Amino acid sequence: MRVSLLQLAVVAAAGVAADFTYATHNFTYEKLWDLQNHFYQRFVYPNNIAEAANINSTIFSEDVEGRVSDTRNFVGRELNTEYIFGLFTPTDAKSVIGRPLSYDIIQFAANGNIASATTSVQFIFPTFKNASFPVVIDTWLTWNDAEQITQYDVTFRWFGYLLQTLVLGLDPTNSTNAVAQVTETLATSICSTHDTYCTGSNQQYASNAECLNFLTTKIRLGQSFELGMDTLFCRSVHEIMIKPRPDVHCPHIGVSGGGMCDDTISYRTKATENFFTNNAWVAGNLPKLNKDF
């Protein structure tokens, strides 16, 4: 924690949680624009392959803290390199995740070491007949003096609508069939990945049939906000990371969900959690209420 005594006094007086620092660097607006673009240039295919290969991408600080709407929170460089870059690279897995091909930042405001942006990212979804859609992503980012991302807070806009569009696109005339198709496709792929890579102490299911039975009858496919819950969609997200690090990721597709795919986080917890500790999301030393109107 890099909070000075003066800052502590200021935030304590204002009644704000005193567990983070304010802007550690005042970058120019132009510099923040470049940093934002740098991130997205590395995010799109094929640059994301090279970034994922770094294992510990220095685009992130070592203690990076990230939160993604509809999934979970991710702490540390290695995990974030996997989930931000590796996850979106081409894969043999038939997963719900797509591949980002190009981007366009359409809204941008920045101050101190914080930037807020809305970016339209063009994706292709191989599992959904190569459907191509823009995905509109809202991000809040902070950087440290070394120009590394120390925090990200990400929201996928209209994500429920996107997911429904993708699934129904499999059979526009019969939604029951579309859901059945996606369930079978994702489960078959997860169980095949399991049989290939989750062996020995990483094994989660006694057999392929047990795996399929569990994934298609014991848990729900999931709603759009349940990609970090006890669902098939959640396990489909984590399937992609199994090949590079089975010891870490096999449990996520198992019965327990390995701490990534379970129903332990309530809505209230989500909505009130105080997750970020590296940097304030306010650029200057403002009290909680600066002026009464």
Ligand X SMILES: *[C@@H]1O[C@H](CO)[C@@H](O)[C@H](O)[C@H]1NC(C)=O
The torsion angles phi and psi of 195, rounded to 5 degrees, stand at -65, -30
Stretch that binds ligand X, among 125-133, 140-148, 236-244, 256-264 (CB under 6 A): 125-133
Q: Using the rule CB under 6 A, is 130 a contact of ligand X?
A: yes
Total interface residues for ligand X by CB under 6 A: 18
Q: Using the rule CB under 6 A, is 132 a contact of ligand X?
A: no
Residue among 38, 21, 45, 6 at smallest CA distance from 151 = 21
* Minimum distance from residue 161 beta carbon to ligand X (Å): 22
Q: Using the rule CB under 6 A, is 26 a contact of ligand X?
A: yes
Stretch that binds ligand X, among 20-28, 66-74, 256-264, 266-274 (CB under 6 A): 20-28
Stretch that binds ligand X, among 115-123, 148-156, 169-177, 244-252 (CB under 6 A): 169-177
* Minimum distance from residue 70 beta carbon to ligand X (Å): 25
Q: Please classify residue 144 by burial: count the beta carbons closer than 10 Å to its beta carbon, then call 0-12 exposed, 13-18 middle and 19+ buried.
A: buried
Amino acid at residue number 18? A
What are the angstrom distances between the C-alpha of 35 and each of 18, 49, 153, 190, 219?
27, 19, 16, 36, 41
Which CB sits closer to ligand X, 98 or 112? 112
Pairing of strands 131-143, 149-156: antiparallel
The token pair at 144 is 């440290």
Q: Using the rule CB under 6 A, is 129 a contact of ligand X?
A: yes
Residues 172-201 that bind ligand X (CB under 6 A): 174, 176-177, 180
Amino acid at residue number 167? V
* Minimum distance from residue 179 beta carbon to ligand X (Å): 8
Look up tokens 């997911």; give the residue: 163
Stretch that binds ligand X, among 32-40, 123-131, 186-194, 211-219 (CB under 6 A): 123-131
Q: Using the rule CB under 6 A, is 107 a contact of ligand X?
A: no
**Which run of H or of E encompasses 114?**
strand 114-125
Q: Which of 86, 98, 100, 112 binds ligand X (CB under 6 A)?
A: 112
Residues 62-81 that bind ligand X (CB under 6 A): 77-78
CB atoms within 10 A of CB 235: 29
The token pair at 98 is 């797509």
Q: Using the rule CB under 6 A, is 248 a contact of ligand X?
A: no
**Residue 151 three-state SS:** strand
Contact call for residues 119 and 104 (beta carbons, < 8 A):
yes
Stretch that binds ligand X, among 171-179, 199-207, 227-235, 247-255 (CB under 6 A): 171-179
In degrees, rounded to 5, the angle at the alpha carbon of residue 117 between the alpha carbons of residues 33 and 32 is: 20
Which CB sits closer to ligand X, 126 or 258? 126
Contact positions toward ligand X, by CB under 6 A? Answer: 23-26, 55-56, 77-78, 112, 126, 129-130, 174, 176-177, 180, 284-285
